[in-house]
Amino acid sequence: MDVADLGLPVDVPSTALFTDQYELTMLRAALASGTAERRSVFEVFTRRLPDGRRYGVVGGTGRVLDAVENFRFDTAVLTFLREREIVDEETLDWLAGYRFRGDIWGYPEGEVYFPGSPIMRVEGTFAECVLLETVILSILNHDSAIAAAASRMSAAAGDRPLIEMGARRTHELAAVAASRAAYVGGFATTSDLAAGFRYGIPTVGTSAHAFTLLHDSERDAFRAQVDTLGRGTTLLVDTYDVAEAVRTAVEVAGTELGAVRIDSGDLLLVAHRVRQQLDELGARDTKIVVTSDLDEYAIASLAAAPVDAYGVGTQLVTGSGHPTSSMVYKLVARAESADPKAPLVPVAKKSSGGKTSVGGRKWAARRLDSYGVAEAEVLGTGPVPAALADRQLLVELVKGGEVVAREPLDAARERHTRARAGLPMSATQLSRGEPVLPTEYLHASSGS
């Protein structure tokens, strides 16, 4: 059974209002001026990575495909727009039959990206493409930020698994998307059951401090948990005195105790002491899980500690200080008329303040050095050089309005592992630095 097909209350019947009002007022004006049907190309990209970051991670592509399919103006939505007088009746009539019938190309989910990378390219009429701006950006900006943070954390963790446990630190619906993005970025499990149900992500969880406090003694709490969940459970040992709790945990569960969790204190010091104590008690196979406001830096600092797994919440679901990827959705080419055969003309915003863009419908490829390691992100608006033909990054996601690139979430997760491994070794350094790959542009002499 594909649990993603079951749906959840976290899904919505229509994504049409996940937009900004000016998308609809632009549509109205374009319909009136006769430019709405001009063939257009929009691209999603970011002008810069978050300060100090060396690469970005594409997250949310699968959710974008769902959102495009569900972008429908039903009766309730049309009634809302009519009552607010946001658009006129002619525009409402057009919206009533709206279906995206264009094409979408993009970097596949889990791929890495750099400044200027055309992460997603949306092609169709101006009218059908412009309406998708906000919903596409809201998904990609959020999910890519979480995936990038997750990637940095998983790189710092090495072979030690990561548990996503940030549901209580963000909006209830954002928590499900964050869990999904974290899984793409390298997390192994989630505590969020909605994410497990919706996306098939493995779920974990045992008990909190409240369970210990509920009982008359810590021993009673541990006994209740072990009797119910078995000796392989994870016991939380920092409610009172850690050393006493570890001793009690082994007495109750025996040396077959699955794991202990430490949620406070000097984790490096406490982990060493707990490992020594467990070994002395004969519980050499009992694992140590640490939580408590971890981020990639804290995880890296524990690399030499006898820790077996990390649980991360707040810093993950807030992008570890960068909750958005600052992606934009810009018109880069449009036809000279509504004639479907009219040639595309490159267009670009030219302004001060670092908000310029590069016009033209772009391709993207990653050039490798003689060792097979990526050395540059190459973008172009003309023919793809033969040497880069088999290194192109954009794949077809939607063709003629039909989704053609759905894939299991594990495919995106595995892709990210490969993509990150193909970058220079400095990509996973946590010290501040410039993007690990330069972005190079090859311009065509004319539009396509």
| pLDDT (mean) for 222-226 | 98
Question: Residues 104-147: pLDDT tens digits?
Answer: 999 999 999 999 999 999 999 999 999 999 999 999 999 999 99
Q: Is the pLDDT of residue 11 over 90?
A: no
Sign of CA dihedral 373, 377, 383, 385: negative
Return the CATH number of 152-320, one of 3.40.47.10, 3.40.50.1000, 3.30.420.40, 3.20.20.70: 3.20.20.70
Residue 89 CA: distances (Å) to CA of 17, 81, 265, 396: 17, 10, 63, 35
Q: How far apart are CA 212 and CA 447, in angstroms?
A: 68
Structure confidence at residue 342 (pLDDT): 94
Domain boundaries, the chain: 3-131+326-442, 152-320
pLDDT at 168: 95
Percent of the residues in the chain that have a pLDDT greater than 90, as a whole number: 92
Alpha helix positions (H), 167-241? 172-184, 193-199, 209-214, 218-229
Q: Is 3-131+326-442 a CATH 3.20.140.10 domain?
A: yes
pLDDT score of 353: 66
DSSP symbol at 427 = G
The predicted-structure confidence for 12-44, as pLDDT tens digits, reads as follows 568 999 999 999 999 999 999 999 999 999 999
**Percentage of the chain exceeding pLDDT 70:** 95
Give the 3-state DSSP-derived string for 75-129, with helices as H, strands as E and coil as C: HHHHHHHHHCCCCCHHHHHHHHCCCCCCEEEECCCCCEECCCCCCEEEEEEHHHH
Decide if 335 contacts 129 (C-beta within 8 A): no
Assign 307 to helix, strand or coil: coil
Spatial distance between the Cα atoms of 202 and 211, rounded to a whole number of angstroms: 23
* pLDDT digit string, tens, across residues 401-442: 999 999 999 999 999 999 999 999 999 999 999 999 999 999
Nearest to 109 by CA among 144, 159, 66: 144
Average pLDDT over residues 252-272: 97
Closest CA to 140 of 40, 41, 18: 18
Beta strands in 271-408 (DSSP E): 287-290, 309-312, 327-335, 344-346, 363-368, 374-380, 395-399, 402-403
Instruction: Of 147, 167, 109, give the one whose Cα is nearest residue 323.
Output: 147
